[in-house]
Amino acid sequence: MKQTPQDFSELETRITQEYATLSRRLQQTARFLLDHPQEVAFATVAKLSEQADVTPSTLIRFANSFGFSGFSEMQQLFRTRLVDELPNYTERIRAVRSATGETPDSTQLLWEFADANREVLEQLPGRIDPRCLEQALDVFDKAEIVHVMGARRSFVVANYFTYALHHIDKRACLLNGLGGMLGEQVKTIGKRDALMVVSFSPYAEESREAAAQAKQRGIPLVVITDSSLSPLARLADVVLVVHEAEVKSFRGLTASLCLAQTLAIALGVRQDKARDQRIPGHEAGTP
């Protein structure tokens, strides 16, 4: 059984290689999909089938022939490609409007983002392995200083986590690369410290480098990322995989921030419990 393509580039290669073996209708579908990737990323099956002059079932059959469970699963590769290639929000907004013909108003967008983020928050506890959560807390608890790294979109999560650690009296340092000094900041991480890196596709090069250096030096590494196949996952001692909401190619941070808050407060609870146990004569649950 052939493996399902994991990204747009792999799908494009497979379509090109297998094009000659496809039926006439599927070849027609293949030409349309590769010639109009922007439209494919956002339009409905009904609209795409009309534009490609094929039936909706043909689009689904095409996706199935390349190992996808349905058209929407294959469509996600087209969306990811667009997000990676169009980092500028203005360009992405223009691409969405062009592909869908829609100009959503502010209230419609608010409902869409709220619904999408509510769904990922409901799924978050079931997706995080409790053992990994405890292992991450073990790493932070033992560390003298927790260093935190997050570039670009991930910076928000890293910055918040550092802020939260300060409020539970845990020594923490945000690796912000100010003045182009990221390399020097990474070198200050001590052997008894720990590093947490937050990174999502397309995985910032500076985050990869920081994680690689930590791995090389034997520094405990916790990673929050969006896939177990992330290049940072292979380097980490503990990996926490988070699936964020995506609306019209704009990915959120709600689940990651919720996880970061949980880690900080859970660590604070651990520290408070440990302090209580060190007080002579103190009994758990005693006012």
Q: Would you give the distance in Å from CA 135 to the centre of its chain? A: 20
* Domain housing 246: 129-278
Please give the DSSP secondary-structure letter assigned to residue 152.
G
237 and 144 in a common domain:
yes
Do 94 and 141 share a domain, yes or no? no
**Domain end position, chosen among 59, 83, 100:** 100
Q: Which residues of the chain have pLDDT under 70?
A: 1-2, 83-92, 94-101, 248-249, 280-287
- b/e sequence 253-275, b meaning 16+ C-beta within 10 Å: bbbbbbbbebbbebbbebeeeee
Whether residue 120 is contained in a domain is answered as no
Q: Are residues 16 and 141 in the same domain?
A: no
On whether both 93 and 147 belong to a single domain, the answer is no
CATH number at residue 199: 3.40.50.10490
**Is residue 119 situated within a structural domain?**
no
Both 24 and 158 in a single domain? no
Residues 94 and 133 in one domain: no
Is residue 90 located within the same domain as residue 135? no
- The per-residue pLDDT for 230 is 86
The verdict on residue 191 lying in a domain is: yes
Is pTM beyond 0.75? Reply is no
Q: Is 227 helix (H, G, I), strand (E, B) or coil?
A: coil
Cα–Cα nearest to 150, from 199, 97, 202: 199
137 and 257 co-located in one domain: yes
Q: Is residue 285 part of a domain?
A: no
Same domain, 171 and 250: yes
Q: Is residue 87 part of a domain?
A: yes
**In a 3-state reduction of DSSP, which class is residue 127?**
helix
Q: Looking at the domain assignment, is residue 113 inside a domain?
A: no
- What is the predicted pLDDT for the residue at 35? 84
Domain match, 144 and 261 both: yes
* Domain count within the chain: 2
Residue 182 sits in the same domain as residue 133: yes
The pLDDT of residue 79 is 82
Position 117 in a domain: no
Residue 64 belongs to domain with CATH number? 1.10.10.10
Q: Is 106 a member of any domain?
A: no
Q: Report the pLDDT value the prediction gives residue 247, as an integer from 0 to 100.
A: 76
| Domain shared by 155 and 250, yes or no | yes
Distances (CA, A) of 273 to 14, 191, 208, 268, 276: 56, 26, 35, 9, 5
